[in-house]
Amino acid sequence: MALPATVRVKLSSEAAGAISITPVVVQELPIRDLVGHMLAVTGKDEARLCEILLRGSLVSGGSRLRWAGWEADRESLRELLEAFPDPDPTLVFAPARCTRAVLTGGRQAIEIGREAAASHGLFRRSGFWEELMELVSGSAPVYAGYSYRDAADRYRCLLSAGTCARLRAAAQSLHHSTLRARIQTEAFAVVEAYTER
């Protein structure tokens, strides 16, 4: 069956908890959006996408999506998939297009959004975000693939002890005290940077 323009989807929460009743929302979702949710789980694996479309159920993040499943036409699905980006290892890291970074290597990842980290004091010429981008650029980040969930290319680089110390010192300029404290006290050894195309 050819892909429909929209799909009637029931959305419900997958939040963990004791006994909880969450409302089910029904909406018409464009097929591109539905397939976009699937790509975050499957990548461009046509067989798995067809299986999920037929099954009519997907858990994406904290939500469960359900619809009346159908057997998808492979050619229509292939055409739709061409509209989504492919990983491109030839792309060079571009700090200006970076929207977020994640510090890993400790017990919990430290998520850093550009908006939260780019603000700096009145008399400062640069803030934490600028320092982070300079350090990532200078650490030869390696292309780590395309994230359909984030709609961004991922770059990864290992951080030396000296680089980690510079980031901890630069965190002093952050206005968000929780983020500042996490960067200054928690362990990390790797940064993943996400850039929009």
Does 116 share its domain with 157? yes
Q: Does pLDDT of 186 surpass 90?
A: yes
Residue 190 CB neighbours (<10 A): 14
Domain count of the fold of the chain: 2
Last residue of a domain, one of 58, 81, 104: 81
pLDDT-based confidence at residue 117 (cuts at 50, 70, 90): confident
At residue 120, the pLDDT reads 54
3-state helix, strand, coil in the chain (%, to 5): 35, 25, 40
Question: Rounded to 5 degrees, what angle do the CA atoms 71, 75, 81 make?
Answer: 95
Residue 87 located in a structural domain: no
Report pTM. 0.83
Does 99 share its domain with 77? no
Can you tell me the mean pLDDT for 120-144? 84
Last residue of a domain, one of 54, 81, 108: 81
- 29-41 burial, b if ≥16 CB within 10 A, otherwise e? bebeebbbbbbee
pLDDT tens, 16-33?
555 566 688 999 999 999
Residue 89 located in a structural domain: no
Does 126 share its domain with 184? yes
Q: Does pLDDT of 5 surpass 70?
A: yes
Does 15 share its domain with 99? no
Does 104 share its domain with 63? no
pLDDT tens, 75-114?
999 999 999 999 999 999 999 999 999 999 999 999 999 9
Does 137 share its domain with 164? yes
User: Among 161, 139, 125, which Cα is nearest to 95's?
Assistant: 139
Give me the chain's average pLDDT, please.
Answer: 91
Q: Does pLDDT of 124 surpass 90?
A: no
What span, in angstroms and rounded, lies between the C-alpha atoms of 101 and 136? 10
| Domain of 52, in residue numbers | 6-81
Q: Does pLDDT of 170 surpass 70?
A: yes
Residue 35 near residue 80 (C-beta atoms within 8 A): yes
